[in-house]
Structures are given as C-alpha cells and as structure tokens.
A and B are shown apart, each in its own frame.
Chain A
Amino acid sequence: DAGVTQSPTHLIKTRGQQVTLRCSPKSGHDTVSWYQQALGQGPQFIFQYYEEEERQRGNFPDRFSGHQFPNYSSELNVNALLLGDSALYLCASSSDRAWNSPLHFGNGTRLTVT
C-alpha cells in the first residue's frame, strides 16, 4: 500500500519563476493538505483540498495556489518565486470521514530559489 508520494524530490528555481509540485495521497484518503517547512522551523499550513475545492487556507499570499483532481491527487503552484519561498514542501493526506486520525505525510519536495 503506497503512502503519500510527492514529486519532484528536489527543485531549483530562479526568483520570479513559477513552480508546480505534485502529490498523490495515500490509498483511501480524499483530503490533501500542503505545508511549508522552512529551515529550522516547524511545518506551516498552506491550504487543504477536499472534493476538488480549497476548504481551508493558512496565512499565505495568493501567489500560492492549488488544485485537486478527481483521483484526489493534488498540485501546489507558486508564482513569482521569492528567495523566502525556499523550503521543504510537505503534502499530507487524510480521510474526511476519520477527522481524528493522524495526517500521513510524504517525504516532501525541497525547493531552492536562487
């Protein structure tokens, strides 16, 4: 049973560019959340997708956007990249019916903005 998978594992971009990160949730999960983990910090919630809609959003600018597909997989898009966007981006999946179950995390995408 595959867990949460993310691609790519590493990415280097230049300031001002745009990036797309991808996530496939654990089998049986229908909810996908994205987190940003800056170096030396805990993960910060970006947003959550359920039924192909953004259900909840953290304190991130509109440059951060996402999408969820009918198969529950998800993308995170970041436009106009800044140096401060360099971080580990984590995808987490869960089941909406099991609200008190733990989130399952992927290994993340390490984004470096130069």
Chain B
Amino acid sequence: AQSVAQPEDQVNVAEGNPLTVKCTYSVSGNPYLFWYVQYPNRGLQFLLKYITGDNLVKGSYGFEAEFNKSQTSFHLKKPSALVSDSALYFCAVRDFNGGSQGNLIFGKGTKLSVKP
C-alpha cells in the first residue's frame, strides 16, 4: 500500500534561515508526490509536485523539493524562511490503485513555525 511519513510534528526556524520539512514515501511503482500547505481554518493549497523528470522541483512562494529515489524521500525546502511561511505542511502521494484518477494519501502533517 502507498504511504507517506512525516517524521517531525513541528519544525522551528528563525526568519531568514533555510528550512527543511521532511517526507519519506513507500509506493509500488512510480511515485507521484505532492506538497500542500494549510493555513488556520483554511483548505489545502498546492505548493509543488513531482511526477517525473528533474529531481529538484520548484514550486510556489519560493519553495522547492528534492526527490531522492534511493532514500525514498521528498523533502520540502526553502533557502530563506519568512514568518508568513508558518503553517501546516502536508506531503502526499497519489494512489492509483482504485481508479484512473487516483486519490491522495497524506502524511500527518508538520507544523512549521518561523520566528522573527
């Protein structure tokens, strides 16, 4: 079965410092990986995806993610954190087992806190 794991419940970073939010995955076949962000009392906003191609994926708001097949990881990164980046971040993998569209399987989420 497909799954993702986010090993950190919370990540604390000082503003201006680089940030990393970790994600590892377990899939049969090719992984289709996504990162979403959730602000309080809001839905999920898409940040970036990996389908195929370059291992470094660039997304919205200056975020990027590095796909590493040998380590089965898809860590989210940003070179310089902003206070406004504070939010809940979810890693997800697309599960095609049930149908052509597939659904998303989410990790538990990592709370990112950026302090001034």
Contacts and interface: CB of A to CB of B under 8 A. Distances in A.
Whether both chains belong to one complex is answered with yes
A107 B41 CA distance: 7
Given A42-B90, A105-B45, A107-B43, A96 B100 contact: yes
Interface in A75-106: 90, 92, 94, 96, 99-100, 102-106
Chain B contact residues (Cβ within 8 angstroms of A): what range? 20 to 34
Given A42-B90, A43-B90, A102-B34, A56 B45 contact: no
Contacts of A58: 103
Interface residues of A, number: 30
B25 interface: no
Given A41-B109, A42-B90, A56-B98, A105 B44 contact: yes
B101 A55 contact: yes
